[in-house]
């Protein structure tokens, strides 16, 4: 099964590139890629904003993983555009794609495996939930259904994803901590 790692954000609230921030000595981009690989979600397509990101992030990840780099056609357009581009471009044999983003550094491969195990046959997607809110950018999606759903719709994914047939996987909130500001690292 394939995955899409979103790494093209501005990191404006953080004030520096989130992908490069180290947690326990490992950059967030490397943590995310290794976690996806540990869940057998290769090849990993990594969407970046600028050509320089490929070299910089690639030097952190190394060459052991099956990585496909792609440049966002519109720099910093947002996750919906990056997902839509990937869905139009990718040929997912099983029709599934695991979404991920660099700013969830405590997500484990167990979460991704659990999503695979619990996706319902009739569901368009399964989304992790921390008990208070869903985390759409960590969803396992059925590519054709989600592409059809988001076609031209720019409402937030959390809204779109909850309006379609989906499942929820309740997860420990500590695993689903999203890092957007410096205080999120403390």
Lowest-confidence region among 10-14, 68-72, 93-97, 127-131? 10-14
Pair of tokens at residue 66: 């099956």
Measured in residues, the chain has a length of: 186
Residue 86 pairs in a beta bridge with: none
CA 78/CA 21 separation, integer angstroms: 20
What are the phi and psi torsion angles at 15 (to 5°)? Answer: 90, -5
pLDDT of residue 62: 84
What confidence tens digit (pLDDT) does each residue in 58-71 have? 999 988 999 999 98
Mean pLDDT confidence for 31-40: 97
CA 11/CA 88 separation, integer angstroms: 26
pLDDT of residue 104: 96
The CATH number of the domain where 94 resides is what? 3.90.550.10
Residue 96 pairs in a beta bridge with: 142
Confidence class of residue 34 from pLDDT cuts 50, 70 and 90? very high
- Whole-model pTM? 0.93
Confidence class of residue 85 from pLDDT cuts 50, 70 and 90? confident
* Domains in the chain, number: 1
CA 105/CA 36 separation, integer angstroms: 12
The strands making up 67-71's β-sheet, listed across from edge to edge, are 67-71, 44-48, 2-6, 96-101, 140-142, 125-129, 166-170
Its domain, for residue 37, covers 2-185
Mean pLDDT confidence for 117-132: 96
Confidence class of residue 184 from pLDDT cuts 50, 70 and 90? confident
Pair of tokens at residue 56: 């910089």
Contact 15, 180 (CB under 8 A): no
């Amino acid at each position: 099964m394939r995955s899409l790692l979103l790494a093209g954000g501005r990191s404006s609230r953080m004030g520096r590139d989130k992908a490069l921030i180290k947690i326990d000595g490992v950059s967030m981009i490397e943590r995310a890629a290794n976690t996806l690989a540990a869940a057998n979600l290769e090849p990993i397509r990594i969407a970046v904003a600028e050509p320089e990101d490929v070299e910089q992030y690639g030097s952190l990840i190394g060459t052991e993983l099956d990585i496909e780099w792609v440049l966002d056609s519109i720099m910093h357009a947002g996750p919906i555009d990056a997902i839509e581009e990937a869905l139009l471009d990718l040929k997912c044999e099983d029709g599934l794609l695991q979404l991920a983003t660099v700013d969830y550094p405590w997500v484990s491969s167990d979460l991704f495996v659990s999503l695979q195990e619990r996706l319902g046959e009739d569901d368009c997607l399964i989304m992790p939930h921390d008990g208070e809110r869903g985390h759409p950018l960590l969803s396992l999606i059925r590519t054709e259904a989600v592409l059809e759903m988001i076609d031209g719709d720019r409402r937030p994914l959390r809204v779109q994803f909850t309006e379609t047939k989906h499942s929820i996987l309740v997860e420990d909130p500590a695993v689903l901590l999203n890092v957007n500001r410096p205080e999120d690292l403390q």
